Structure formats: C-alpha cells, structure tokens
Amino acid sequence: MKSSSFVPFSLLLLSLFLNSACRTARLEGPALPPIEPKPVVTQAKKSLAPKKLSANEIPSALGGLIQSDNWVIYKDKQQEEFSGHVSYDNGTYIFRADYALSDRARHTFTARGNVFLRQNNPDTSFYQARADHGSYNYKTQKGDLFGTRKKPAELVYRNEKGQLVTAFAQNIYFDLNQKIYVLEKNVRIERPTEQGTQIITAQKITLKQLQEYVLAEGEATVTDGKRTLVADTLVYDRQNNLSHAYGARPLTYGATEQGTFAVIADEITADAEGKQIHLDGQVQGWFVSPQINDSKFNEKF
C-alpha cells in the first residue's frame, strides 16, 4: 500500500530538507449528518497544519509528496520513517531511495539503498548524485554520501552548455553553507577541456568552490590524454593564480605540437592557466622535437 505525506523540500546540489506533517486517513462508512466542529478541535487542526516558512528560513522551499510502500510516524521521537520505493519528484527536485528517515528533533534526513538525487535548473543545467547511503543536516547544511567498494558514490554536474563534470569517490562530505566538498578514497574526477577529457585522480580531493581552490592529495595525477602530471600533492588556486605540484618528485610527460617530453623535479609551479612553468630543485628530463630531428642540419651528424 502506497503512503504519502506533505513536506517542504529544498535541494541544493546534495541537500534534502524534509519537515512532514500528518495526513488524516478517511474511511467510508454510513452517511451521518454533519456535525459542527468544536472550537477546541478546530484549533487542534490548525496547529497540525504545515508551518509556512519564510524565504529566509528555506531559500528555495518547494511543496511536494514523499511516496513509499510503508510510512511510520514516531511522534515522541519526532521522526517519520519511509521504506520501500521511497520517491519524490516535482520536475525540479527528484529523490529516490529504498529507505529514508526524517528526524526533525535532530534536523537530519538520512537515506539508504540506491540513493538518487537530482536538481534541474531553469537554464537546463543540473546537479545529480548517486550513493549507497547518506545523510544531511538541514540546519548546519552539512552532510555526507557513501558508496561501496564495487560501486562508489557519484556526483555529476552539467552546465547550461551541456558540458559534464563527473566525480567518483568512496566517501563524499559537503558543507553547502561554505561550498566545500571533500572526496575521499579512490577519487576520480572527469571533465571536458579543449585538449580532451581531463581526468584527476587522488586518494583525497578538497574543493572550495567560493575560493576556486582544489587540493589533491595522495598519488595525485592530472591527465588530458596527451599530457600527464604525477605528484604526491597537487594544488590549484585560481584566486592566487597558482598551480603547484610537490612531494615524491613530481613527474610531467606527454606530447605537444613541438614534440614529446618527460621532466622530473623536486617541485613544479605554474600560473593557473599553465602558461608559465617553473621547475625547482634537481631537474632531469628530455625533449624530442620531430622538426629538429628531421632537419637537414642533422644530416651532417
């Protein structure tokens, strides 16, 4: 049997806000003359009505229905439990899971089992996430998503131009207030560039969206299929126009229009666009240019 409850709902990238109110069930029976409700009963019904929250409390609150096979209310705990084909879809915000628990006393919402979240934006861009289980505190705007060894958690963002950025990780922690995201264990991020698909891997990646800052730690690599950079730690700091690779003797190799190369150094720094590169410490490497090798000058040797 399907069940449902009215909820205000807000999702910003990975967020869920649920604040359910009771719904009265109606059973058919013999016709009875109408009875005027007593003032006390009327007041009680008004108190059960969903509270209208201001725009400051929930910036993008939307009304909707949470549906599930089973729905249990724990009044003393201020909890509502949904199990079996849990879903919400109003066209803009979409949520699905096998199980979900709304805990208004703790301001949390947790879900597990084939968790799916999506936010569609008016400009055709969207945010999307998949996970085995996760939780969100709508008061602190902090939460987490977890995958399994066989199936990591997944984040997807598509901009209005149709370009996709996809991230995979075992664990994903987020702070929507500070716009900070931390991805841990076997992290992989893919995004399109003019040179090709760029792939970033590491054991831990911290993204600070407001500062345009990325920190990749532990066996970090960046490659676009033609050029590759390998280091223990990689830093991208857009505000300070800095890229920095260090730890475990960073190695960069690949091919350009001028030829192929491989360079290893103690540290590699560059501007944010990668136009000016500095190699520090003990530098070793080689560069091979077909134009030089095939020139008539080399025929003398």
Q: Which of 14-18, 176-180, 210-214, 252-256 has the lowest mean pLDDT?
A: 14-18
Q: Report the SS3 class of residue 152.
A: coil
Distance CA 33, CA 66 (A): 34
Domain that holds residue 234: 223-301
| 123 and 265 co-located in one domain | no
Q: Give the length of the chain.
A: 301
The answer to whether 1 and 61 have CB atoms below 8 angstroms apart is no
**Which of 183, 211, 243 is at the close of a domain?**
183
| 267 and 153 co-located in one domain | no
**Which of 126, 153, 183 is at the close of a domain?**
183
| 236 and 295 co-located in one domain | yes
Residue 41 in any domain: the answer is: no
| 280 and 145 co-located in one domain | no
Distances (CA, A) of 162 to 35, 104, 152, 157: 59, 37, 24, 9
pTM, 2 dp: 0.73
| 178 and 231 co-located in one domain | no
Residue 115 in any domain: the answer is: yes
Q: Find tokens 């209005």 and name the residue.
A: 160
The answer, yes or no, to whether residue 64 has pLDDT greater than 50, is: no
**Which of 121, 154, 183 is at the close of a domain?**
183
Separation of first and last alpha carbons in the chain: 86
| 91 and 21 co-located in one domain | yes
Per-residue confidence at 216, pLDDT binned at 50, 70, 90?
A: very high
Distances (CA, A) of 68 to 26, 72, 81, 95: 19, 10, 10, 12
| 19 and 118 co-located in one domain | yes
Tens-place pLDDT, residues 189-214: 998 887 788 999 999 999 998 999 99
| 19 and 98 co-located in one domain | yes
The answer to whether 174 and 14 have CB atoms below 8 angstroms apart is yes
| 251 and 106 co-located in one domain | no
Residue 105 in any domain: the answer is: yes
Mean pLDDT of 209-223: 93
Please give the tally of structural domains in the chain.
2
| 147 and 229 co-located in one domain | no
CATH classification at residue 293: 2.60.450.10
| 8 and 156 co-located in one domain | yes
The answer to whether 86 and 96 have CB atoms below 8 angstroms apart is yes
